[in-house]
A and B are shown apart, each in its own frame.
Chain A
Amino acid sequence: MAEIRLEGVTKRYGDLVALDDVSLVIEDGSFTSIFGPPSSGKSVLLRVLLGLESVDAGRVIVDGRDVTHATPNARNLSMVFQNLALFPHLDARDNIAFPMIRRGATQEDIDRWLEQLSGVLSIGHILHKRPAALSGGERQRVAIGRALIRDASAYMMDEPIAALDARLRDAMRVELKRLQTELGRTFIYVTHDCEEAMSVADNMAILENGRIVQQGRPDEVYTRPETLYVARLVGSPGINVLAGHASDNGVDIAMGRIAVPVDAGAVCVALRPEALGLARPGEGELRGTITDIERLGGFSVLTVSGGEELRAISNADVAHRIGDEVGLTVDPSGMHLFDPQAGTRIG
C-alpha cells in the first residue's frame, strides 16, 4: 500500500504562487503523469513531494503517514532527476548501488538486486564504467536503475527522457511502461510532452499556473476536457478553437452551423481535427477551401479556410488539391463547447 496524497498544498516564492491549493491522490501501483506547459509547477510539485521544498500550506501524505515536514530521506520516495544527477566520481555499479549502500544493505542483497535490475534495464555490460564513458541512453538507464533499486513508496521522474533523441525516447517510453507494469510500482512522471504523458500513464493530472485543472484517465481527459486550456493542451494536431454564437439549438460559426442543444449566447467551439470528415461541397455542416495539405505518411492534415481556419485529419491518399472547395462533417463526440470568458466546459 503506497498511496500518495496531496491535500491543499500551496507553495509560494515571494509573490509567485508556484502551487495553488493542489490536491491530488496517486493510487498505489499507478502510473500517474503530471502534465503541463513549462513553469506550470510540475517540477515544484515533485520537489514538494520529495521534501526538497517546504510547503506554505497543506499536507503531504505517503502511505497514510503525514510527511509534510519530514526530511527527504525519511519519506522513502525515489527520484530520477531531469538532468539525471549521476555521481560522476562513481562507476555505474556504485551509482546504482548507492541507495542500498546508504541503507546498509548486505553485499548479497545488493548483488542480487543489481543483477535483476541490470537484466531489466540491459546495463550489465556497462556497470564498470563511469558516467562520463556512457552514452545518453545508458546514463538514462543508470539513473533509472539508481532510483529503482530500492523499495520506495513511489518513483518520481522529472522529464527523464526529454533530452534523448526521438527514436530513443520512443523506445524508453515503452520500456518505462513495461518496467512499471512488471514491477507493479507507483510511478509519478512529469512531462511537458502531451503525447508522452498520455502514452505512459493510466492517470494524468494537468497543471495550469500551479493549479490542477483536470485529473483522470488519459482517454477521459482527451474525450472530455473540462476547460479550453486542457482541450488545447492535449492532442496533436491541436484542437481547432473557433468563436461561435449559439441560438435555437445550434451554433453558428464562420464556416457554417452545427446543430447542438445549447443555451443562446457566445460560445467557444473546439473541434478535434479527427472529428472532421471530408464531404462534397454543399454537404456536411461546414464548408471551406483547402489551403494546405500536409501528407504525413499514415494520414494527411488538411487546412480548410472559410472566414476562419480549421485543421482536419484525413486518410493518406486524399485526392483533393489545394484550392478545392469542400464540405466538412462534424462528429459530435469530437466537439466541445466552452464558455468564451471562463474557458469552462458547457454541456
Chain B
Amino acid sequence: MTGLILRTVVVALFAAIALLPISWMATMAFKPPAEWTSATAELTFLPKDPTWSNFVYVFTGEVEGQIVSLDRTVWWPLFASLLTSVIGTLIAVVAGTAAAYAVSREKVGGSIGLSLLQLRIFPPLAVMIPVMIMWAFLGMIDTWWGLSLIYGIVTLPFSFWLMKSYFDELPREIEEAAIVEGCTAFEAFYQITLPIVVSAVASTALFIFILNWSDYLIALLLTRKEWTTIPVYMNALATAASGQLYGAKAALGLIAAIPPIILGISIQRFLVQGLTFGALKQ
C-alpha cells in the first residue's frame, strides 16, 4: 500500500515536471500582451485576463492591442507543413516498407540497410548544406515537392529499420502457408502480411510524421518564403516594434500540437495491437 502511494506520488511528480513547459505554453497562449512582454510587473501561471487574441492575431494578422500587423498569417505555413509532412511520410513509409520487406524476406540489397543509415550518421548540417546546394541546382528550393522529397528521404532510414525489425519478427511460414493455400507471392504479402503489420505501419507513420512535422533545420535551409513551415514561421514571429511575440508563438505551439495528437488518436487502435501474437504454437 505504501509502495502504491509512493509510486503514485513519484509518477505524479515526474508528470508535473514533464508537463510544466507544455502547460506553461498552454496558459501563455491565452494571455494578453501585457502579461507576457518584458514590461510585465508580475508573472502568473494562469492568465489574469484570458483572451483569444493571440489566436486571432496569428490567423488574421491583426488584432486589437497589437500596433504591428503580420505580413503573413499562419494559414499558408500550416498548409505547407501539413502537405510536405504528409507526402514525406507517405514516401518514407511506402518505400521503407517495400524495401524492408524485400531485404527481410529475400535477403537482397546487401548492405543497403547500413547505407541508408549514412544519412543519419553525420550531423544534420553537414548533410543538409550539400543537399541545399543540390536542391538549388535542381530548382527545388522553396517548392512543396522539394521539401516533401527530402522529408521522405531523411526519414526513410527510420521506416526501413522499424519495418525491417517487424518483418524479421514475422515468421515467413505465415506467408508460405498462404502461398501453399493458393496465393501468389504478391497476394500473400497484400492479403496476409500487410494486414498483420498494419499496426507497425501505423506506428511507423506516426513517428515519421512527427519527425517531419517538427523539422526546423531542413525547412529553414530549403525554403525561402512561400513554402516555409510552421517551425520556421514561428521563429519569424517577431517584429522590430514589438520584439518576440511570445503569446502568438505559444498559440501557434498549441495549434502545431493538434495534428500529431489527432493522428495518434485515430491510429490508436493499431498502436495497441500486438503483432503476431497467437500465430504460432507458443
Count of interface residues, chain B, beta-carbon cutoff 8 Å: 24
- The 8 Å CB contact of A88, one of B178, B179, B279, is B279
In the complex, chain B residues whose CB is within 8 Å of the CB of A78: 180-181
* CA gap between A72 and B173 in the complex, in Å: 13
Nearest CB to that of B195 among chain A residues? A89
From residue 237 to 277 of chain A, which have CB atoms closer than 8 A to chain B? none
CB of B280 within 8 A of CB of A85, answer yes
Q: Is the interface of A mostly helix, strand, loop or mixed?
A: mixed
Contact A146 B176 (CB under 8 A): no
Decide if A85 touches B278 in the complex (CB within 8 Å): no
Chain A residue contacts of B195, Cβ below 8 A: 89
Asked if B37 lies at the interface with its beta carbon under 8 angstroms from chain A, I say no
Which one, A73, A131, A139, contacts B184 given CB within 8 A? Answer: A73
A14-22, A95-103, A113-121, A293-301 - the one binding chain B: A95-103
Kindly state whether residue B69 has any CB partner on chain A within 8 Å: no
Report chain B residues within 8 Å CB of A50: 176, 180
A99 and B278 contact, CB distance less than 8 A: no
Cα distance A194–B195 in the bound complex, in angstroms: 39
- Report the minimal beta-carbon distance from B270 to chain A, rounded to whole angstroms: 11
Contact of B276 among A88, A98, A99, A139 (CB under 8 A): A88
A88 surroundings in chain B (CB, below 8 A)? 174, 196, 274-279
B196 CB contacts on chain A under 8 angstroms: 87-89
A83 x B180 contact (CB < 8 A): no
A:130-146 near B, CB below 8 Å:
130-134, 136, 139-140, 146
Which residues of B in the span 161-188 have a Cβ within 8 Å of any Cβ on A?
A: 171, 173-174, 176-184
Residues of the A chain whose Cβ atoms lie less than 8 Å from the Cβ of B269:
none
* Nearest chain A CB to B260 CB, angstrom units: 27
Q: Kindly supply a per-residue 1/0 record for chain A positions 73-108, scoring 1 wherever the CB is within 8 Å of any chain B CB and 0 otherwise.
A: 100011101111111110000000011001100000
Residue of A77, A81, A164 near B176 (CB, 8 A) is A81
For residue B282, CB closer than 8 A to chain A, the reply is: yes
Interface centre among A79, A84, A132, A140 (most CB of B within 10 A): A84
A163 at interface (Cβ–Cβ under 8 A)?
yes
Q: B181–A84 contact, CB under 8 A?
A: no
Please state if B177 and A81 are interface contacts (CB–CB under 8 Å): yes
Residues of A bordering B, CB below 8 Å = 50, 52, 71-73, 77-79, 81-89, 98-99, 102-103, 130-134, 136, 139-140, 146, 150, 163-164
**Selected A-B contacts with CB under 8 Å, 13 pairs:** A52-B179, A72-B176, A73-B181, A83-B279, A84-B281, A85-B280, A88-B274, A88-B276, A103-B182, A131-B278, A132-B277, A134-B278, A164-B281
Instruction: Write the residues of chain B forming the contact surface with A, with a CB cutoff of 8 angstroms.
Output: 171, 173-174, 176-184, 192, 195-196, 274-282
